[in-house]
């Protein structure tokens, strides 16, 4: 079996057995990136920056740490020496960190995000920084200043977004795992479109320190992997309280692998009637129903639940998120760092031209919407109303979880669409997140797992749980993956 087809757990076992070294493993993935990813030669364009020198140095240090652990003179973690791709939204000391934007094309971060620090401490090897929708605003990875990312299952189609680069890299096995961020579905939707396991934890579970902000009350980092077991391993590294982040919550972090094999006997699965109605592709619906039957064979029972305000999640989100982004992105003004226009006439000209040149069309659109919603005379009519709807959505989930343990449904209404198909219709693009946004508004954990193929393209199954129920979601996903092999399928061109 080729190294790139192995899961994190399998790669770790191979390093333990000394079947290969971390340096050999890292070179294998760097070679695949060189072979398959360059946009100039028609590659996937999943990476913005590849860091071979840094990666090989980290790999050599990991091999030394494992050798010291074997001799009893040191220690090494389970994931020490395993390569990883970081989404280019996480600040990385000494490495260009762009957030997919011209605004930060020349920005070299002077410090590490907490997620990067934790990955480094665990001995993971960073292969590079992955492409993404500009400032995480998009559902197709087409808004990136560095060009669109291609879906490995069909290179004429999108990989989803905003974590499309991470999704494509893992799907094509240009990295065994990657980090992503999810503001309205940006881990789960690309995981669905690329046949991955993607987990958005509870809000506050993973530090946002050093993660460039889009919408501060919605953004959350998470793992993008091949399997639920791998997601558990990577979440174990990423999760935990961080005093530097005021939104990080000091809540115990369980051993996520310990409960992976727990029985699903008696598990109550809630099926929201709003997730199975108009707008859901018939083939996608059939695959979700087939997955439900597999879970019932494992001992789960299904109950219908109601999320009556879920239909309001998209309009509420597209008031709240732009409002927060208009505030967060005000720091990019051409003065302190980031893109600066040439020869400004005065301070006002500096601000206007630097921002107009540095931000892409979608980012400018959302800044304008958010500024309008927060302006005098409109705050109560738009922003305050959206926050009231957000509270109703949370209350809907609270009521539903009184009758079930997890909620199940599709991740996306359809499979990956063609590159360019929705670029001229922002509303159609926004509706790609119709099943995922409510989870972010409520701050709940959610994940997408592979559930089959429609016309050769992946379909994702979404699981949603109450606060801090990541272990339960991983358990359900893992047991499902023990009786199916969708997650083991590879796009033929990258096998």
Active site residue 162: yes
Integer CA distances (angstroms), 207 to 132, 202, 355, in order: 20, 11, 28
Structure-token pair, residue 337: 């760092």
Residues in CB range of 141: below 8 A, 6 or more apart = 131, 132, 133, 148, 149, 158, 159, 160, 161, 162, 164, 165, 168, 190
CA-to-CA distance for 406 and 264, rounded, in angstroms?
11
Catalytic option among 140, 162, 192, 310: 162
What residues are paired with 151 via a beta bridge? 154
83-87, strands of its sheet edge to edge:
47-50, 125-130, 83-87, 178-182, 220-225, 197-200, 446-454, 457-464, 406-410, 268-272, 301-305
- Sorted by sequence, the CB contacts under 8 Å of residue 166 that are 6+ apart come out as 46, 85, 87, 130, 132, 175, 178, 179, 180, 190, 224
Nearest to 46 by CA among 123, 119, 151: 151
- Residue 311 in 3-state DSSP? helix
Residues 6+ apart with CB under 8 A from 376: none
Nearest to 274 by CA among 402, 400, 417, 390: 400
Give the relative orientation of helices 313-328 and 385-400 as an angle to the nearest 10 degrees.
130
What does the alpha-carbon distance between residue 439 and residue 444 come to, in Å, rounded to a whole number? 5
CA distance 413 to 416: 10
Annotated active-site residue 129? The verdict is no
Residue 277 and residue 350 in contact, taking contact as beta carbons nearer than 8 Å: no
Contacts of 30 (CB under 8 A, 6+ apart): 50, 52, 55, 56, 127
87 catalytic? Reply is yes
Q: Which two tokens stand for residue 224?
A: 């993008």
Rounded-to-integer distance, Cα 320 and Cα 390, Å:
9
The active-site residue, picked from 21, 186, 310, 326, is 186
Helix (H) or strand (E) holding 351: helix 347-358
Q: How far apart are CA 240 and CA 253, in angstroms?
A: 6
Selecting among 21, 22, 46, 87, the annotated active-site residue is 87
Active site residues: 87, 162, 186
């Amino acid at each position: 079996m080729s190294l790139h087809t192995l899961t994190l757990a399998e790669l770790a076992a191979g390093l333990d057995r000394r079947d290969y070294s971390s340096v050999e493993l890292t070179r294998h993935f760097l070679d695949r990136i060189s072979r398959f990813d360059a946009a100039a030669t028609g590659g996937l364009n999943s990476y913005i920056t590849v860091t071979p020198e840094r990666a090989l140095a980290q790999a050599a240090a990991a091999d030394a740490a494992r050798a010291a652990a074997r001799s009893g003179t040191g220690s090494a973690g389970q994931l020490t020496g395993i390569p990883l791709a970081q989404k280019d939204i996480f600040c990385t000391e000494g490495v260009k960190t762009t957030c997919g934007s011209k605004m930060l094309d020349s920005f070299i971060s002077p410090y590490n995000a907490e997620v990067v620090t934790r990955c480094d401490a665990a001995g993971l090897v960073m292969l590079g920084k992955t492409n993404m929708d500009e400032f995480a605003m998009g559902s197709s990875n087409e808004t990136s200043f560095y060009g669109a990312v291609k879906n490995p299952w069909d290179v004429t189609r999108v990989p989803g977004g905003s974590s499309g680069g991470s999704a494509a890299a893992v799907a094509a096995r240009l990295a065994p795992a990657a980090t992503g961020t999810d503001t309205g579905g940006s881990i789960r939707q690309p995981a669905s479109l690329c046949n991955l396991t993607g987990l958005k934890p509870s809000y506050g579970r993973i530090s946002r320190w050093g993660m460039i902000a889009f919408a501060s009350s919605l953004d959350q980092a998470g793992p993008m992997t091949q399997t639920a077991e791998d997601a558990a391993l990577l979440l174990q590294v990423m999760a935990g309280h961080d005093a530097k982040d005021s939104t990080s919550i000091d809540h115990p972090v369980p051993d996520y692998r310990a409960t992976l094999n727990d029985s699903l006997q008696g598990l109550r699965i809630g099926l929201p009637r709003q997730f199975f109605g108009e707008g859901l592709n018939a083939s996608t619906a059939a695959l979700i129903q087939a997955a439900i039957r597999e879970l019932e064979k494992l001992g789960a029972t299904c109950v219908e639940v109601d999320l009556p305000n879920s239909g309001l999640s998209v309009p509420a989100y597209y008031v709240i998120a732009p409002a927060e982004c208009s505030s967060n992105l005000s720091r990019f003004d051409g003065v302190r760092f980031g893109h600066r226009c040439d020869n400004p006439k005065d301070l006002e000209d500096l601000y206007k031209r630097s921002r107009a040149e540095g931000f892409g069309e979608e980012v400018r659109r959302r800044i304008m919407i958010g500024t309008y919603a927060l302006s005098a005379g409109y705050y109560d009519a738009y922003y305050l109303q959206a926050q009231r709807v957000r509270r109703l959505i949370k209350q809907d989930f609270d009521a539903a979880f009184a009758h079930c343990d997890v909620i199940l449904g599709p991740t996306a209404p359809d499979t990956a669409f063609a590159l360019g198909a929705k670029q001229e219709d922002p509303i159609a693009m926004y509706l790609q997140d119709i099943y995922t946004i409510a989870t972010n508004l409520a701050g709940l954990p959610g994940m997408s797992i592979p559930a089959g193929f429609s016309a050769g393209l992946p379909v994702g199954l979404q699981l949603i749980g109450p606060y801090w129920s990541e272990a339960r979601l991983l358990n359900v996903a893992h047991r499902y993956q023990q009786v199916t092999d969708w997650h083991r399928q590879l796009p033929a061109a990258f096998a």
